[in-house]
Amino acid sequence: MPDEDDEDKEKSSIEQVIPMDSLKNGAAQAMSGLSWFTSTMSKKAAEAKAQLEANETYKKSIGGFNAQLEKVRECWAEAGPKGHQDMTTPS
């Protein structure tokens, strides 16, 4: 059985090769940076979304898209399960 002195020597040797404090500090800094990046990108995305939704051209185009999407949904509902296969299978 190894005694405690041998285990302490092994830990000391490993810590000399790999500076654990620096490694922990680096990991903490990386997490902090990732957190900042995520927060910043979320704010920027929310701002971009707000600007986009305020844009009249976007409102018109998305309105037209939604109308076309609704027509497709109606066609699929009318076709039923068998019709879905017919619509997706090439002729």
Write down the pLDDT at residue 38: 96
Its pTM stands at 0.44
Rounded (to 5) percent helix, strand, coil in the chain: 90, 0, 10
Residue with tokens 């810590």: 15
Tell me how far the alpha carbon of residue 16 is from its chain's centroid. 38
Domain extents for the chain?
Answer: 1-53, 55-91
pLDDT at 4 over 90: no
- pLDDT, one tens digit per residue, over 9-65 is 666 677 777 788 888 999 999 999 999 999 999 999 999 999 988 888 888 888 888
Write down the pLDDT at residue 85: 58
Calpha distance 40→34 (Å, rounded): 10
88 or 45, which is more confident: 45
3-state secondary structure of 15: helix
In this structure, are residues 52 and 41 in contact, taking their beta carbons and an 8 Å threshold?
A: no
